[in-house]
Structure formats: structure tokens, C-alpha cells
Structure 1
């Protein structure tokens, strides 16, 4: 049984995380001052690397035109006072242009960088940044800081948020204050947890929020204020901190990761989408339902038939907040609680890659998926 963590225990958890983070940043003996941390910045493209047609073309620009090395160089010498910064160009395109196979390669790149560096910053487009973030949160094996950033305006327009976001992301990573937090997102001076962050506006610079959970903290020039932490810091320093999704292990035979799709419910929705996904070989389907996960009668019928064929379903809500708990007595259908459809898809995909045991997948959704503080 999961119990909400008591206040005293919560503070002790934060203390453990803080002590661990501070110990990793201890000064080198004999030199009288702290060595600068090493931060690797991995570029994948997106608006942050965009070039506009002119200085006021806030929406007319070519994404993924600037190299990450050029962008970081434009922030020197400021970033040189924060960290020893290296760069890697993983790709240079919009976030929506990457595949799950690309995601797997990105995890490998981040893992490799963290073996040599104290923290990693990943720049990406904002369209699917929340999915980039949650994927890395579930698959990166190191507990060192991973910070995602991007921008809502291209690098080359007046009033762009791109340079400030990149600078602050490097500052946050170099501070190592988010050790054991998993992956976090930093835009608009705000720090958000990968599990909860979502894009809420197509154009505004304050587009990213964490719903009712709230942001983790803010960056106010020289001050990094973290007011809360993701529940996974409770396991900081223990092997249980890592998720079970070790990509080197679950894909060691080179097999493709499972195919998981999302079906959206609405008034009088037909069952054709669910049937088509099942017939085309989907291993799992996430339903974005009305209210607390409701789907139309036609979709429900199609889901029942698909479950008979071995398709696993996860039930979410299209409302943007609130939980879908599901029922353990409904075979083949798992409640995703308050995960958004797109994040439930990633958790289901990785779960199906690791096991075909429905009981185990339900347990992962009830623990990894909800990530509440627990006693014990």
C-alpha cells in the first residue's frame, strides 16, 4: 500500500539528496578552490537553433540551422565561469522529427556523456520536449543531473528566449542541485519535473507548466531556488533509484521496441482507430478518454476485441489533469493515474519491451507512473 510521505520524512529525503549533491561538488585537495564541473551539452535542434527570416520573424524561421557548438560559443565567456562545457551535435531538426529508435540512441549518448561529465544539458524543440524529457527520465541510468532546454523563439530574433534558456540550463546543470531528480526541464526561468511537465500554449514563452503538481523551482539570476523535488529522490544513492528500463538489456538482441499508439475519445467516437491500430500490429494502445478515462461504446467494443488479440491498453484522460485509476479486474486495461496520454505511451512502450507480465506492468504504472513519496 502506498502512503503519502509525512512531512518530517519528506524533509529528511530532501536532506539526503542535498548532502549527496553537495558531496559530489567537493573542492579538490590542495588547490584552495573548487574545480569547475564538467557539463556536456547535446544539441538535437528545434526552435532554439532556428534562424529567422529577419529580426522580427518570431514564427517564420528555419528550425535546426545553428550548431550547438556555435550557440555555446556565443555564450562565452559567461558559461566558462560556470563549467567546463563540451558540445555534441546529436541531430539538428524539430523535436517531432525524431523516432523512438532515435530516442534509444539519444539515451546512449546521454549515458556516455555522463560517464565523462558531471551533468548533461540536452537542447531540443519544444513541440515534443515533454516526451524527450520523460523518455530520458525513464531510461538514463546515471543519477547525475540531466537538464532539457529549448526556446519558443529562434536564436536570431529580438527578444529571443533562446540564449537565456541555454545559459540557465548550463547554470542549473553545473550547480548539480538536481542530482537524483532524474531529468528536468528548464525554460522561462522555471524548473519542471519530466514526469509532470507539459506544453500548454502553442506560442507563449510561459508555455510549460506542471499542472497541479507545480514547478520544482526557479532561477533568479544567481539564485537557483528549488522548492520541492520529484519523489524519486527518496531512493537517492540506492540501486532502486534506477528504473528497470535498461535499454542495453531489454534490447540487447537488437529487436525493435514495441509499437504503442494513442486513440482519442470524443462524442460518438468510432472504434475504427482502435481496430486499425490492433490490426496493424500495435502491441499496446493508450486511450485518451473523457473525464476519468471514459471511452465511447464503439471504442469499448473495439478495445475488448483487441485485448483478445493480446493488445495491452492503458487508460488516460484527455482533460489534462486528474487521475484514471482503472480496475485490476479488467484484464488488459491498466489505469495510468495522472500521466498524460503521451507519457503513458512511453511508459507502456518500455514496460512491454521489458516484460509481457501484465501484473508487473500494473505495478510499474502504480509505482514509477505515479511516483508518490512512500514510507519505509
Structure 2
């Protein structure tokens, strides 16, 4: 009897062990499959970048690739009228044809890759994602890259590349204000000179630069200032970083980013290979003016905008109606806002919760930085940190390994001006939803808000 009971207990124990093993195995398999699925690589586009020819490999000249996207540079006059600068079809000629029209370059061996062929404004943000990865792929083989684009949104495309290209090699964006085949065209000279800048290596570690009309600008700061003139690209307040002449490329000012060359801080937080292009969110720009309404902000939110840049008057002020719409967008939808000025230059300060100061970025540049920030984080403090560090680009010079000299100091907290009307009051803020991080907003201030105290002189900061 005892023996029989023992056998029965033994069988039950064995069955239990087998069952446990089967369950554990199933759980392990399920977990492993989940881990495998979670670790699946993000599908990335591939590009048919031309290999270096044998002649280029043995040549002493640097290898430069031109990544072409079209624009006025590749434009053709309509109806054969070579005297009209405005009647033309952008993105008509291929880069292979354009390079064939140029004299043999004296300072670089040149190849080309035709990414696209249309006006700059016709590219989507997802296509810019591909363009950035194409430039990085090309720089794995070549010493420098020239990216040709239309000038309408050139500054935005250039800043997107500046924020996302991972290679430290030179990236030079150029284009033209007149199509390739009209009298007085600036296209051939701009293309030739941009190749010279990229091949010189003098903008290595600068990020992306823009070169037209023989003048070199930092992508972060440059803007198009005139609808027709060939000297349209300018850098307000700071000026160009250099220029190119027939015999030489001259650099007289380096972007703050270049001072971090060779360090982890040089790279931006926005590695596109770690996200899918579909994760790039909708971000819009709302422009302030006399008695501006809040309809633009409400419409952007209804269309799914996750972020909105306000181009305010003066020091970033917005009307009371826009302010009320902004408050509702933050409270009800967790939308992120960045404050800029419509004046063309000037630094923004302050901000709290989901309202972030855009430093001296213009609205279109701030939009690119906010768009990328929201693709990588939904946390307001993280995004504010990116705007105040990588986005601000204060100059900091390392004296030695223990000492750094900063050229600016922390400013006292300032609030964004809001143009108030006597009959309008801003609604009180509701408590922040638990699912939205720190979605609060500083109280509105009038244009007569007292200016913050003058900053103290820079001091030598020692780090242990």
C-alpha cells in the first residue's frame, strides 16, 4: 500500500514538473520572440551611391559627391526665353548634365548622386529623412558632400541636415537664384565654388553650411532675405563665417559646434537611424500680428499638430486670443510650443511647462528643431534641454581639461510678452493631466513687463 501511494505521489510530482517545464518553455519562447521582435532593426532606405572610380582612388585630390535634389539651379527657361529669370521649370536638368557643363574642377574629383529633381518646397519631411541618410551614406565613401536644393526652403533643408547628419565631414548646401540656362545665371559659379568649399575640408566639424554668391553661412543662422537678388542669403546679427575666392577658401568665424570637434557632445541627439520616418510629427508655425486670432492654433491642433512655433512680435509677444488658444492646446492636448520673434533676429528667454524659448532661432529653424525633438521625446524638460544646449550653441572654450570659459551667463527667468486687451482675460490653467509631463504655462505678461536684470559679467567656470 505504502509502495503504491509512493508511486502515485512520484507520478504526480513528475507530471507537475513536466507541466511546469512546458509552461516555462512556452513563456520563455514567448518572451524570446518578443525580445527578438523588439530588437528588429528599423527598416532604413538604401541608396545607390556611386563607388569611387579607380582614377579617383589614386588621385591626390579630395573626392566630393554632389547630392542633387533639383531646384532653380537645375531649372530650364520656359519657351526658350533665356532672358527671363522668373519663367522657368525648376528641377529639369540632371546633375550629371550640369557637371558636364562645368570646366574640369581644379581642386576636387567630383561624382554625383541624383536624389530627386524638384523645387525645395515640394519635399516632405519624410523625404528629408531619406536625404539626410543618403548624405551620411555618401560620406562613408567621399571626403565631402555638396547638396543642391531650391532656395525657397533651403535654410530649412540645410538646418535639418545640420541637426541629423552624423558624419563630421563637410556638407555644403548650394543652389541658385536664376535657372541654369538663362543669361547671367549664378548656378554654375555656385556649384563650382560649393565643390571647392567641400573639398577644402575647412568646414569639417562645422555641421552643414550654406554657400551661395561666394559667401559661406552656418546653416543654423542663415536665412533668405530677398525674393530675387542673388545675394539673398544673410546671417542676421552674426554675419557669414567666411567666403570663397578664385584661389582660396577663407574661414573667419567658426560655429560654436565646431569647438566640440572630436567629442561626444558634437553629435546631435537626433540619430535618424534609431527612428522610423513615420514617427516625425506634425509641427506648425503661427504668426502673430495686430489682434491676431486663435483660429490658426486651434486649426493646427485639430489637424494633429504635436508642436507649434509662434512667430511673435517684438520679444516674442502674442495676442491674448492666441495666448488663450495656446493655453487650451497645452491643457487639452499636451501640444508643445516654442517662442520665436517675427523681427528677424533677437534672443527669446524664459518659458515654462510646455512653452519653450527658441533662443535666436527664427521660426522656420525652430520648427525643424522642435519637430525632431518631438520625434525623439515627449518630455518638455528634455526638449527644453535640447533647445538650451544643442539648439542655443553658446560658445564655450576649453582652457584645459579642468577649466572651461563660457562666453555667456545664465539669464534670469523671463516670461514671454503677451499683448493683452482690456476686455479679455486669459483662462485659468487646469491641473496638468497625469499622462502629460509638466504641461503648464507661465502667466501672461503685458508688453510693458519689466525687463530682467542685466546679466553679470562672464566668469571662469572650473569643473572638477
Any idea what the Cα deviations from partners look like across 1:117-166, whole Å, max 9, x if unmatched? 00000000000000011000000000000000000011111111000000
| 1:282 and 2:294 are equivalent in the alignment | no
Paired position in structure 1 for 2:192: 167
Paired position in structure 1 for 2:321: 298
Give the C-alpha shift of residue 255 in structure 1: 3.5
Paired position in structure 2 for 1:59: 86
Paired position in structure 1 for 2:390: 368
Q: Is the 8 A contact 1:315 1:326 kept in 2?
A: no
Give the C-alpha shift of residue 187 in structure 1: 0.3
Paired position in structure 2 for 1:91: 116
Paired position in structure 1 for 2:210: 185
Q: Is the 8 A contact 1:95 1:127 kept in 2?
A: yes
1:241-256 equivalent positions in 2, closer than 5 A: 241-251=266-276, 255-256=278-279
Determine helix, strand or coil for the equivalent of 1:168: helix
Q: Whole-Å Cα distance in 1 between the matches of residues 203 and 233 of structure 2?
A: 18
| 1:268 and 2:291 are equivalent in the alignment | yes
Q: Whole-Å Cα distance in 2 between the matches of residues 220 and 34 of structure 1?
A: 24
Give the C-alpha shift of residue 76 in structure 1: 3.3
Q: Is the 8 A contact 2:242 2:253 kept in 1?
A: yes
Paired position in structure 1 for 2:152: 127
Q: Whole-Å Cα distance in 1 between the matches of residues 224 and 132 of structure 2?
A: 22
Q: Whole-Å Cα distance in 2 between the matches of residues 284 and 190 of structure 1?
A: 33
For structure 1, the 5+ residue unaligned runs are 1-32
Q: Whole-Å Cα distance in 1 between the matches of residues 169 and 119 of structure 2?
A: 26
Determine helix, strand or coil for the equivalent of 1:213: coil
Q: Is the 8 A contact 2:126 2:278 kept in 1?
A: no
Which aligned segments of 4 or more residues in structure 1 are displaced greater than 4 angstroms?
Answer: none
Give the C-alpha shift of residue 34 in structure 1: 7.7
Q: Is the 8 A contact 2:221 2:235 kept in 1?
A: yes
Q: Whole-Å Cα distance in 1 between the matches of residues 382 and 231 of structure 2?
A: 38
Give the C-alpha shift of residue 326 in structure 1: 2.6
| 1:359 and 2:381 are equivalent in the alignment | yes
Q: Is the 8 A contact 1:288 1:317 kept in 2?
A: yes
Q: Whole-Å Cα distance in 1 between the matches of residues 259 and 251 of structure 2?
A: 16
Q: Whole-Å Cα distance in 2 between the matches of residues 63 and 237 of structure 1?
A: 39
For structure 2, the 5+ residue unaligned runs are 1-57, 398-403, 405-464
| 1:334 and 2:359 are equivalent in the alignment | no
Which structure has the larger Rg over C-alpha atoms? 2
Q: What TM-score, normalized to structure 1? A: 0.88
Count of residues in correspondence between the two structures: 338
Q: Whole-Å Cα distance in 2 between the matches of residues 87 and 223 of structure 1?
A: 23
Given the alignment, which residue of 136, 154, 163 partners 2:161?
136
Q: Is the 8 A contact 2:170 2:205 kept in 1?
A: yes
Q: Is the 8 A contact 2:175 2:190 kept in 1?
A: yes
Determine helix, strand or coil for the equivalent of 1:159: coil
Paired position in structure 2 for 1:4: none
Determine helix, strand or coil for the equivalent of 1:155: coil
Given the alignment, which residue of 256, 263, 278 partners 1:238?
263
Q: What TM-score, normalized to structure 2? A: 0.72
| 1:348 and 2:370 are equivalent in the alignment | yes
Given the alignment, which residue of 98, 102, 111 partners 2:127?
102
Given the alignment, which residue of 83, 103, 108 partners 1:76?
103
Q: Whole-Å Cα distance in 2 between the matches of residues 177 and 234 of structure 1?
A: 14
Moved more, 216-225 or 190-199: 216-225
Determine helix, strand or coil for the equivalent of 2:318: coil
Q: Whole-Å Cα distance in 1 between the matches of residues 264 and 100 of structure 2?
A: 37
Q: Whole-Å Cα distance in 1 between the matches of residues 157 and 86 of structure 2?
A: 22
1:150-229 equivalent positions in 2, closer than 5 A: 150-229=175-254
Q: Whole-Å Cα distance in 2 between the matches of residues 88 and 40 of structure 1?
A: 7
